[in-house]
């Protein structure tokens, strides 16, 4: 969908969108003689102007009728959140409505340029679709809205949209595409190829390690997961050098299990098809790097995507096997379905030893336990670093990618001690997401600041939101982008 900003409403056929703030309906004054009829229609629909709510009616226009969407922005909602709900609500109403063009008039809302640009961001995100494999869509199911024109916004809104928020939209789009694609299309090798194609010309530096290269480095934990698949594993390294020369980078590490059967500890058949998005952490990291490069972030960033497929063939890793990680620590594999932490262990060791980052943040669809704890409303945040936790929580609040901090403690760490190796890859059922984080923490070296984000409940949604439809959410891209802006670039 094309988005543009204009000084005034265009002529011709379009759907008109007017935002109202709670009971303040000054925006409806532009309707002139039709105002009283519109007020009556809104009352009959019990429309009260709550943030994100919408009412729809038709009004006379140019000898015919025009679709009018009135969207509430609320009274107490913050301007950025209200702006995003506004953009998402209008697209949710109009995307498959038959309307080809929409005009959003922000006059009277007193939005600053950034808020107006975030209306555009939300509209673009909500309009994102991936219909590549849907060959028999009925006409009523096909998107029709091709253009959104925003009027009544500050003069520099268009520039902020293009330079600041459109790159974020493109990054989220890449993540959603990777997460949406089925596992016969996206596996370690093709994940790399898809990312390389998407970032071409962005200025990102790329390096790729195959299984043989990782074996030379001693990545026995990651390769142990991959050994049951005919698909060779990959380690994808992306670098953005936008900061000062010599400054230590910030590292983002993503779990990239492109399909997870559970291995020998095989998952139940029901719902296993959803495990195509078990690479959501790697997808988020890749999308975030595209966004940061396109907006030319003033920071040095390195991203690592550990890419494997977890399959149960005759060569697959067995429960009870002991593997040696790149760090030299040994791991007793109790459950082959606790594979993501094995991938992260070697990826985190690799990035520390090769790039010496000042901060490491990993993102992973790691545990079902976090979904039991937080549902599909928050990702879990684990870190022993209070300052880093607060920075990430602030970024979550302003980006919309929500986080909730979880505990870490030595008592949980003891639960993964092994009688025959340095550690085992699972503890008891209780506190499963915490013991997973404690496992990863054992691979953090030399006091490096570190945080783990368990995004298992957030990478995919079975219900629409103001910035996404059902399916891949793109979670993590906006969080990383905001964290870098506020806590890395600002220093």
Is the CB of residue 381 less than 8 Å from the CB of residue 373?
A: no
Phi, psi of 460 (to 5 degrees): -140, 145
Is the CB of residue 253 less than 8 Å from the CB of residue 360?
A: yes
Q: Which of 67, 85, 126, 341 is catalytic?
A: 341
Q: Is 132 a catalytic residue?
A: no
Q: How far is CA 54 from CA 88, 91, 125, 392, 453, in A?
A: 11, 11, 18, 32, 34
d(CA 81, CA 418): 47
Q: Is 267 a catalytic residue?
A: yes
Q: Please, what is the Cα angle at 358 between 355 and 359, to 5 degrees?
A: 105
Q: Which of 267, 356, 405, 449 is catalytic?
A: 267
Which uninterrupted H or E stretch holds 306? Answer: strand 300-310
User: What one-character-per-residue DSSP string does 42-97 give?
Assistant: HHHTT----TT-EEEEEEEETTEEEEEEEEE--SSS-HHHHHHHHHHHHHHHHTTS
Alpha-helix runs per DSSP H in 199-298: 211-216, 220-226, 280-294
Residue 214 structure tokens: 């990782």
Which uninterrupted H or E stretch holds 20? Answer: strand 15-20
Strands 101-105 and 64-72: unpaired
Active site residues: 267, 341
């Amino acid at each position: 969908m094309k988005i543009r900003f204009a000084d005034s409403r265009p002529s011709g056929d379009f759907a008109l969108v007017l935002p109202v703030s709670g009971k303040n309906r000054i925006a409806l004054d532009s309707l002139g003689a039709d105002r009283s009829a519109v007020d009556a229609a809104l009352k009959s629909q019990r429309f009260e102007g709550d943030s994100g709510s919408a009412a729809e009616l038709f009004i006379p226009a140019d000898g015919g009728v025009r679709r009018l969407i009135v969207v509430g922005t609320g009274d107490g909602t913050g301007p950025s959140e209200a702006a995003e709900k506004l953009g998402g609500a209008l697209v949710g109403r109009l995307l498959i409505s038959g309307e080809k063009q929409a005009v959003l008039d922000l006059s009277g809302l007193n939005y600053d340029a950034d808020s107006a640009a975030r209306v555009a961001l939300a509209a673009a995100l909500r309009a994102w679709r991936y219909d590549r494999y849907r060959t028999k869509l009925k006409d009523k199911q096909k998107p029709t809205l091709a253009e959104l024109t925003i009027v009544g916004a500050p003069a520099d809104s268009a520039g902020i949209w293009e330079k600041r928020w459109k790159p974020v939209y493109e990054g989220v789009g890449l993540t959603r595409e990777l997460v949406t694609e089925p596992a016969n299309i996206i596996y370690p090798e093709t994940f790399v190829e898809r990312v390389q194609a998407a970032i071409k010309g962005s200025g990102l530096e790329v390096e790729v390690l195959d299984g043989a290269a990782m074996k030379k480095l001693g990545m026995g934990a990651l390769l142990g997961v991959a050994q049951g698949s005919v698909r060779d594993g990959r380690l994808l390294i992306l670098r953005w050098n936008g900061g000062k020369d010599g400054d230590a980078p910030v590292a983002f590490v993503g779990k990239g299990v492109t399909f997870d059967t559970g291995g020998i500890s095989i998952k139940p058949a029901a719902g296993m098809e959803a495990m195509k998005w078990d690479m959501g952490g790697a997808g988020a990291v890749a999308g975030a790097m595209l966004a940061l490069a396109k907006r030319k972030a003033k920071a040095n960033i390195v991203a690592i995507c550990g890419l494997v497929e977890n399959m149960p063939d005759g060569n697959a890793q067995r429960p009870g096997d002991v593997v040696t990680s790149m760090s030299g620590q040994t791991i007793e594999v109790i459950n082959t379905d606790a594979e993501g932490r094995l991938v992260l262990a070697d990826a985190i060791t690799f990035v520390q030893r090769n790039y010496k980052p000042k901060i490491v943040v990993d993102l992973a669809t790691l545990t079902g336990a976090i979904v039991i704890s937080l549902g599909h409303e928050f990702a879990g945040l684990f870190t022993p670093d209070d300052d880093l936790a607060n920075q990430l929580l602030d970024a979550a609040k302003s980006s919309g990618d929500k986080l909730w901090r979880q505990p870490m403690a030595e008592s949980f760490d003891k639960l993964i001690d092994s009688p025959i190796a340095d550690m085992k890859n699972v503890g008891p059922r209780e506190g499963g997401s915490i013991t997973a984080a404690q496992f990863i923490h054992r691979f953090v070296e030399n006091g490096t600041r570190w945080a783990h984000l368990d995004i298992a409940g957030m990478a995919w949604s079975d219900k629409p939101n103001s910035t996404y439809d059902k399916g891949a959410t793109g979670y993590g891209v906006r969080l990383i982008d905001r964290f870098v802006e506020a806590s890395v670039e600002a220093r």
